[in-house]
Amino acid sequence: MPTKKPVISPWRRLIDTSKVMSIAVGNNGKAWSAPVYYLFDNKGFYFFSNPKSRHIKLSENGLSAASIFQDDANIKNLAGIQMSGVILKSPLNVRSVLVAKKYCAHFKISGNDVDILGFFASKFHASLYCFEPQIVYYMDNSKGFGSREEVAL
Q: Each residue of 29-52: pLDDT tens digit? A: 889 999 999 999 999 999 999 999
DSSP 153: -
The stretch 61-67 carries a mean pLDDT of 89
The domain total for the chain is 1
3-state secondary structure 95-147: HHHHHHHHHHHHHCCCCCCCCHHHHHHHHHCCEEEEEEEEEEEEEEHHHCCCC
Buried b (16+ CB within 10 A) or exposed e, 65-82: bbebbbeeeeeeebbbbb
Residue 121 lies in a domain: no
Is residue 47 included in any domain, yes or no?
A: yes
pLDDT one-digit tens code per residue, 66-104: 999 988 899 888 999 999 999 999 998 999 999 999 999
Bridge partners, residue 47, by sequence: 129
Contact 64, 84 (CB under 8 A): yes
When pLDDT is cut at 50, 70 and 90, the band that residue 1 belongs to is low
- Residue 84: give its domain's CATH number: 2.30.110.10
Positive/negative CA dihedral, 125, 44, 9, 63: negative
DSSP 73: S
Is residue 31 in some structural domain? Answer: yes
Is 120 inside any structural domain? no
Domain assignment present for 112: no
**Predicted structure pTM score:** 0.91
Does some domain include residue 100?
Answer: no
**Is 106 within a domain?**
no
In a domain, 117, yes or no: no
Domain that holds residue 66: 10-90+127-150
